[in-house]
Amino acid sequence: MIEKLKDWKVQLAVLLVLIALYVLTKHPLVGVITVIFIVVAFIVELKENAKEKGWKEELKDMVVLFIIIFLGLKLLGVVLNTEAPLSAIPTCSMEPTYHRGDVIVAAGWPVETMYHNGTFGEIEIYYNGTLLDVSIPMWSYCKSNPFSIECREFRSCPSCFEERYGDLSVYYDFCYRGEEKEICSVAYSVKGEKYPFNYSTDTIIYKPLPDSLFGPYGLVVHRALFALCNSTECLYFTKGDNNNVFDFQYYFHNLGNPPVKEEQIVGKVIFRIPYLGYPRIFLSGYVQEDPYCKVTLK
């Protein structure tokens, strides 16, 4: 078995079979086996080459290879005007547009979305026109306080609630994940003019702030549904197509996500390559699918 693993064609074939098996079964054990196989194949290849050329030459070749890959990615980044031209999608938050395991190619080109003039301000939550004493987004508040009076009303009539942020308002209503009824953000208004969500806008890759809720998870790939601009800057309001609410409406453990500033944007998605991202996300520890992978929002 070890002898066969010395052949790179066998290594590639086994890796492709494992990825195909994971795609079919979605079983985390297959992901773990894939990680083990990649590590074992790497060690076998390393030892075999070192036996032929010696460790010194093998390490030199590895350094050269890493430099070539690094410079290749840097060159691709220069051509596409982005610091992260290739990324792997580890979750199902962008289903059905982009899938877990996709490799996405990004470019630092202008973001095409809905641009509005307005100012983003402190949150105010209204229930049928009455201001509530709630200081975080209603959807997140009710995840932590499900038995409060406000949250019972929220589950009964989400469309009765309005979240105001200066010139911006966000509206809730019922949505469905399969047959299960859930609550989602469904529309927004700027200075009183209401807009439905437009899912033809660009999907962007952005760096969340280090001290934000999404900060520990690295780059985020979500749709820029619209931007709110004043005289000094534009703020981008992002949402996963398969997520219930905007990124800035997630708030847990005293951590939230402010709207995305222009300097946080790494690029926008220009196309995807299916399945090739699985080895990358497995090696990062994402061997198990999140619950949103099973059923998407309607």
Note the pLDDT of residue 123. 97
Phi, psi at 54, each rounded to 5°: 90, 150
Note the pLDDT of residue 290. 81
Q: Is the pLDDT of residue 50 over 90?
A: no
**Which pLDDT band, with edges at 50, 70 and 90, does 217 fall under?**
confident
Note the pLDDT of residue 5. 59
**Which pLDDT band, with edges at 50, 70 and 90, does 156 fall under?**
very high
Q: Is the pLDDT of residue 202 over 70?
A: yes
What is the per-residue pLDDT across 52-82, written as a single tens digit (0 to 9) for each? Answer: 778 777 788 788 888 998 899 899 899 999 9
Note the pLDDT of residue 208. 96
- So where are the chain's domains? 4-80, 106-293
Strand 130-131 versus strand 265-273 pairing type: unpaired
Judge contact between 127 and 150, C-beta under 8 A: yes
Q: Is the pLDDT of residue 241 over 80?
A: yes
Judge contact between 236 and 257, C-beta under 8 A: no
* Residue 161: half-sphere exposure toward Cβ, Cα within 13 Å: 28
Note the pLDDT of residue 55. 79
Note the pLDDT of residue 1. 55
Would you say the C-alpha torsion 279, 280, 284, 287 has a positive or negative sign?
A: negative
Q: Is the pLDDT of residue 274 over 90?
A: yes
Q: Is the pLDDT of residue 298 over 90?
A: no
Q: Between these two residues, 55 and 112, which has the higher pLDDT value? A: 112
If you write DSSP's letter for every residue of 35-88 in order, what string do you get?
HHHHHHHHHHHHHHHHHHH-HHHHHHHHHHHHHHHHHHHHHHHHHHT-S-SEEE
What residue ranges in the chain does DSSP mark as E strands? 86-88, 103-107, 114-117, 120-127, 130-131, 161-166, 168-177, 180-190, 193-196, 203-206, 220-229, 234-239, 251-252, 255-256, 260-261, 265-273
**Which pLDDT band, with edges at 50, 70 and 90, does 153 fall under?**
very high
Helical H segments across 118-223, by residue range: 138-144, 149-156
Highest mean pLDDT out of 73-77, 107-111, 289-293: 107-111
Judge contact between 58 and 65, C-beta under 8 A: no
Strand partners, 195: 188
Judge contact between 242 and 95, C-beta under 8 A: yes
